[in-house]
Amino acid sequence: MLKYITSILAILVCSISFAQITEVEKAKANDTLPKLDTYPLRIGVDISKPIRMLLEDDYQGFEIAADFRVSRKFYIAAELGNEKKTVDESQINFTTEGSFVKLGFDFNAYENWFGMENAIIVGMRYGFSTHKQTLNSYTTYQTNQHVEGESLLTQTPGTEFSSLNGHWVEVVAGIKVEMFDNIYMGFSVRLNRLMNTKEPENFQNLFIPGFNKVTTDNNVGAGFNYTISYSIPIYKKERKKKVEEEAEE
């Protein structure tokens, strides 16, 4: 019996030793496997615009936002959408409606652990809109700030100005955080500078889709978006050893 028990114990010790050796070998093997970074396409919507539609009767809009990772820190980014806004001021009431697109890049300033895709971003966009304006009503006023010089508006209420556009650049800053698997929440603020715009005759663009409000004496504006997006892995790429060592330091 003692011999039998001794044999069983010997077998168990050998099995445990073999299992330990196997686990160590697996760990070493995993350490030697190349680390692969995921290069995803994130697509989402700006939920601030539906919220704004609930709060403002004179506003309609939507925006789709996307970014694609092209290197360890850089992403190409784009937003496109549509807006309709009625502006009612003391001397004038008009409606602007049109579409816009923004193209640019984001730089991720956040140092992620391996496998994470959170971001603190800074970036730039070029924005372009094509829109129309409808002059709903106005009150003639000799020094109206929206009329060039001392001239008066001659268009009748209901006049539509089409084929208008605007060009601008944006500086972007924001964050993107993975809340659930492949689902990200993001927030960004935008500082815009209007570069060029096609305006109606004897009138001006006071609201540009994608840019926001335009003032008569300032071509700088601001905006923000709040996105929910889904990340679609496109491919994986081996992280270079030098980059990996720098990240671990």
Spatial CB neighbours of 105, under 8 Å, sequence gap ≥ 6: 74, 75, 76, 77, 123, 124
User: Considering the domain boundaries, does residue 72 fall inside one?
Assistant: yes
- The answer as to whether 40 is a domain residue is yes
39-78 pLDDT, tens digit each = 999 999 999 999 999 999 999 999 999 999 999 899 999 9
Distance CA 213, CA 87 (A): 10
Residue 212 lies in a domain: yes
Write out the residue range of the structural domain in which residue 159 sits. 34-248
Q: Which amino acid is at 108?
A: N
Nearest to 182, CA basis, from 233, 229, 231, 227: 231
Q: What is the pLDDT of residues 80-124, one digit of tens each?
A: 999 999 988 878 899 999 999 999 999 999 988 766 789 999 999
| Total tally of structural domains belonging to the chain | 1
**222 half-sphere exposure, CB direction, 13 A CA radius:** 3
Question: Which runs of consecutive H residues, i.e. helices, occur in the chain?
Answer: 2-32, 48-55, 241-248
113-167 tens-digit pLDDT:
766 789 999 999 999 999 999 988 877 655 555 544 444 556 677 788 899 999 9
Lookup result for tokens 């892995």: 233
Give the CATH number for residue 191: 2.40.160.20
Q: Which of 108, 132, 134, 118 is nearest to 185 (CA)?
A: 118
**Is residue 130 in a domain?**
yes
Say if residue 249's pLDDT is above 50. no
What is the percent of the chain where pLDDT is above 90? 52
Amino acid at 45: V
Mean pLDDT score of the chain: 81
| Pair 103, 123: CB distance under 8 Å | no
Domain contains 219: yes
Examine residue 21 and state whether it is found in any structural domain, yes or no. Answer: no
Q: Confidence class of residue 20 from pLDDT cuts 50, 70 and 90?
A: very low
